[in-house]
Amino acid sequence: MPKPVIIKIGGSLAKQENGKILRQLGKILSDYASKYPILIVPGGGPFADTVRDYGEKLKLSDQTCHFMALLAMDQLAFLLTEFIPGSRLTDLSDPASLFQIHSHPVPQILLCSHYLSLIPAEDLPRSWDVTSDSISAFLSKKLDAALLVLLKSTDIGPEVNEPDVDGYFCKVLSPAQPVWFLNGLYPERLAELFEFGETYGLRQGQRWDAF
């Protein structure tokens, strides 16, 4: 049984070209979901930006902002269902969902907030150092992912540092985890990665072989 491929879709991509980029990415994810178990981790995007704004204006604690930002990721998850044909929402807090990952050959968009709110703070700090970047790395370890792909709205390289990823990403990422950082503004690169195991982008960790 193949291990899942986790795709983190950066929230900033939601603002690009009135949804055109999301539709192109969504089609690619749907096309390859029968070949790979695809799990999608949504970013927070404009919804998380709103949390940041209110956090600063109202002097909210980091913990409160963290939980609000998790809900922002769920909001983007619902938004993504409009752009990824055949996709389904999968709530990680439902134990049965973890056993159904391989039984649905469609892109599965993860609802993470309730599950992640139960993770101890020593494992996943409740601060702005932990965003959807670190969360995708954390989940790639928990779900034993074959590959982690982070779709950004810019190119990254030759090294990964802040602000390309959040401050906790490198601490939580498994050293052996194959990772690709791709510029999501070029959806064809994601298709190339699925098809050939290589594309234009930044790779870390072990090589991932497409099949």
- Rounded CA gap, 69 and 157, in Å? 27
Q: How much is the pLDDT for 102? A: 67
45 is written with which tokens? 């995007």
Give me the number of domains the chain comprises: 1
To which residue do tokens 């790779």 refer?
Answer: 203
Contact yes or no for 40/111 (Cβ under 8 A): no
Half-sphere exposure of 19 (CA within 13 A, CB side): 8
Residue 80 lies in a domain: yes
Give the pTM: 0.94
Residue 158: asked if its preceding bond is cis (omega within 30°), the reply is yes
Contact yes or no for 135/165 (Cβ under 8 A): no
26: domain range? 5-204
Half-sphere exposure of 17 (CA within 13 A, CB side): 11
Residue 210 lies in a domain: no
38 is written with which tokens? 């695809």
Q: How much is the pLDDT for 57? A: 98
Half-sphere exposure of 167 (CA within 13 A, CB side): 5
Contact yes or no for 41/110 (Cβ under 8 A): yes
Residue 130 lies in a domain: yes
Q: ∠134-139-145 over CA atoms, to 5°?
A: 120
CATH number of the domain that residue 182 is part of: 3.40.1160.10
Contact yes or no for 182/150 (Cβ under 8 A): yes
Contact yes or no for 126/67 (Cβ under 8 A): yes
Residue 211 lies in a domain: no
Q: How much is the pLDDT for 165? A: 87
- How does pLDDT run along the chain (211 residues), one tens digit per residue? 789 999 999 999 998 999 999 999 999 999 999 999 999 999 999 999 999 999 999 999 999 999 999 999 999 999 999 999 999 999 999 877 766 776 678 999 999 999 999 999 999 999 999 999 999 999 999 999 999 999 999 988 777 766 778 889 999 999 999 999 999 999 999 999 999 999 999 998 778 877 6
- Helix, strand or coil for residue 110? strand
Residue 209 lies in a domain: no
Q: ∠188-112-35 over CA atoms, to 5°?
A: 40
